[in-house]
Amino acid sequence: MLDLFADEAPWQEPLAEGAVILRRFACADAQSLIAQIFRLAEQSPFRQMVTPGGYTMSVAMTNCGEAGWTTDKHGYLYSPIDPQTQQPWPAMPAVFRQLSDAASKAAGYADFVPDACLINRYAPGAKLSLHQDKDERNLQQPIVSVSLGLPAVFQFGGLKRSDPLTRVMLEHGDVVVWGGPSRLFYHGILPLKAGRHPATDEFRFNLTFRCTR
């Protein structure tokens, strides 16, 4: 399909102190990122994880990199092994690394070297409740979050769950980077609206790069 916005240059939108949206930053790499997602999922399939409280998450997840975010009976953890396949998570593809590197630099974080990439797949209705990314040992490093496919409403708050929320639509190719003062800010995704996207059909994918060391 002809994408009238394919040549649109990326632009930046400040979100909070230490947090910025790099609009369309990943558009040029989107096709290869998506191809890699499908390849990775052949090795470590998407699965709906069950929280320690017994709730099956609506978002389907997998990981790549040296460590992957997962759940077990006791809590949330980063594991070098995919509990479903009992094999290491697949390695992080070069195009993932390069994008994360360029995005973190563009956002002003110089030395971000992620060892983990969580891959989220949203089908219509899937959501991610308000949460903090706080299972990483290294909170000095930012989070780099890449949106692909269908648009979704991202909520970004503050250090307290009750802090006021900013709601922004994240679209295909948008990258959000948050760190420093906003590293532990609450955030989430509202239920995905059904639709069709030329690159991902009825899904939204999200890549979040983290440094867990």
**CA torsion, points 32, 34, 40, 45, in degrees to nearest 10?**
-170
> Among 29-37, 46-54, 114-122, 133-141, which window interacts with Fe ion (CB under 5 A)?
133-141
User: Interior CA angle at 65 toward 62 and 71, to 5°?
Assistant: 45
62 binds, among Fe ion, ligand SIN, none (CB under 5 to 8 A by kind): none
Beta-carbon count within 10 A of 141 CB: 22
* Of 36 and 204, CB closest to ligand SIN: 204
* Of 7 and 180, CB closest to ligand SIN: 180
Least distance to Fe ion, CB of residue 128, Å: 7
Please tell me the distance from the alpha carbon of residue 57 to that of residue 51, in angstroms, as a whole number: 7
Is residue 115 a contact point for Fe ion (CB under 5 A)?
Answer: no
112 is in an annotated binding site: no
Q: To which residue do tokens 């440094």 refer?
A: 211
Least distance to ligand SIN, CB of residue 42, Å: 22
Q: Which DSSP helix (H) or strand (E) runs through 102?
A: helix 94-106
Please tell me the distance from the alpha carbon of residue 108 to that of residue 104, in angstroms, as a whole number: 6
- C-alpha distances in Å from residue 6, one per residue of 23, 75, 172, 174: 12, 41, 11, 13
Least distance to ligand SIN, CB of residue 39, Å: 20
Is residue 189 a contact point for ligand SIN (CB under 6 A)?
Answer: yes
Q: Which of 78, 109, 112, 154 binds ligand SIN (CB under 6 A)?
A: 154
Which residue from 209, 200, 202, 204 is spatially nearest to 190, judged by alpha carbons? 204
Binding to ligand SIN (CB under 6 A) within 97-136 occurs at 118, 120, 128
Q: Which of 100, 182, 208, 212 binds ligand SIN (CB under 6 A)?
A: 208
Which residues contact Fe ion by CB under 5 A?
Answer: 133
Which residues contact ligand SIN by CB under 6 A?
Answer: 118, 120, 128, 145, 147, 154, 170, 187, 189, 206, 208
